[in-house]
Amino acid sequence: MSPCDAPMRVPIYGVTAPQPWCWALQVRNAPVLNLHRAPPADVLGAYVAVCAAAEYVPELKDWMASWHGPGVSAPPADELPTCAVVAVARVSAVSLWPDGERQSRWYVGPAGLWLEDVVALPEPVACEPGPADVLWEVPAPVLARVRLALGAVVGEGKARWAAYEALAARSGGREPASLRERVLRMCGCRRALTKCSTCRTWHCTAPGCPPHTCATGVSP
């Protein structure tokens, strides 16, 4: 199961963060979500739906922009959603103060969920936020909408990658498909190059490619 497919098949827990911290997680400025309680032992590797709390905390915005904070300018309250799931992410590590090995200005403890593979949803999914200090179960109707939105993002990513590979193949930039292609020197037209017996340079004999002019036959 690839990392892209994983969130579509495994449980997704809910986590709540106040704005603008939730925004910082969504745009990958903040690598960690702080909790007041230690999460379950099996949370490592799990996926979480990041839900914006009902409140916007101006003090967080001030701290983010301060010299002793991360130095990030967060959007104002009227530009950020509340009571909605805005992203899905994977829990890559858990820190428990004071024994946490990871260091960041964003980590204030006592427990920290370090998030990776953050996928911002195209549109916020309305949801009543759960408790801010624990993981919580996302209501089934909300979870269905989250998975649907997440699937759309993942599908678009796969489509872009497939289009890129197709373009690379048409442009001669694809990986050799066979041992013969790996051994032979290939022209951009996909025909094998031929070495000139006189000047020993490689050239293409295809009618549509420029004719080879032997360097030894050119007068100074």
Contact (CB, 8 A) for 25 and 118: yes
DSSP sequence for 10-36: S-EEEEEEEETHHHHHHTTS--EEEES
- pLDDT value of residue 77: 95
For residues 156 and 192, membership in a common domain is answered with no
For residues 140 and 206, membership in a common domain is answered with no
Tokens of 208: 């549509």
- Coil/strand/helix, residue 157: helix
Q: Which residue, of 121, 139, 165, is where some domain finishes? A: 165
For residues 74 and 183, membership in a common domain is answered with no
Q: Is residue 126 part of a domain?
A: yes
Nearest to 10 by CA among 139, 147, 136: 147
Distance CA 149, CA 50 (A): 14
pTM above 0.85, yes or no: no
Q: Is residue 170 part of a domain?
A: no
Q: Is residue 100 part of a domain?
A: yes
Mean pLDDT by groups of 10 residues along the chain of 220 residues: 52 94 95 89 90 96 92 94 96 81 81 92 95 91 94 77 68 53 64 74 77 53
For residues 93 and 127, membership in a common domain is answered with yes
Tokens of 80: 């950020």
For residues 108 and 182, membership in a common domain is answered with no
For residues 61 and 112, membership in a common domain is answered with yes
Residues whose CB is less than 8 angstroms from the CB of residue 208 and which lie 6 or more positions away in sequence, other chains included? 189
CATH number at residue 113: 2.30.130.30
Q: Is residue 35 part of a domain?
A: yes
Tokens of 81: 């959603």
Tokens of 218: 């050119």
Q: Is residue 171 part of a domain?
A: no
Contact (CB, 8 A) for 71 and 47: no
- Give the domain range for residue 129: 6-165
- pLDDT value of residue 182: 47
For residues 201 and 104, membership in a common domain is answered with no
For residues 91 and 153, membership in a common domain is answered with yes
Helix and strand counts by DSSP (H, E) for the chain: 4, 8
Q: Is residue 1 part of a domain?
A: no
**C-alpha of 155 from chain center:** 13
Q: Is residue 205 part of a domain?
A: yes
- pLDDT value of residue 23: 96
Total domain count, the chain:
2
For residues 200 and 143, membership in a common domain is answered with no
Tokens of 88: 């899905």
Distance CA 133, CA 38 (A): 9
Q: Is residue 191 part of a domain?
A: yes
- pLDDT value of residue 42: 83
For residues 82 and 181, membership in a common domain is answered with no
For residues 142 and 183, membership in a common domain is answered with no
Q: In what order do the strands lie in the sheet with 47-56?
A: 32-35, 111-126, 84-96, 47-56, 12-19, 136-137
For residues 186 and 109, membership in a common domain is answered with no
- pLDDT value of residue 151: 87
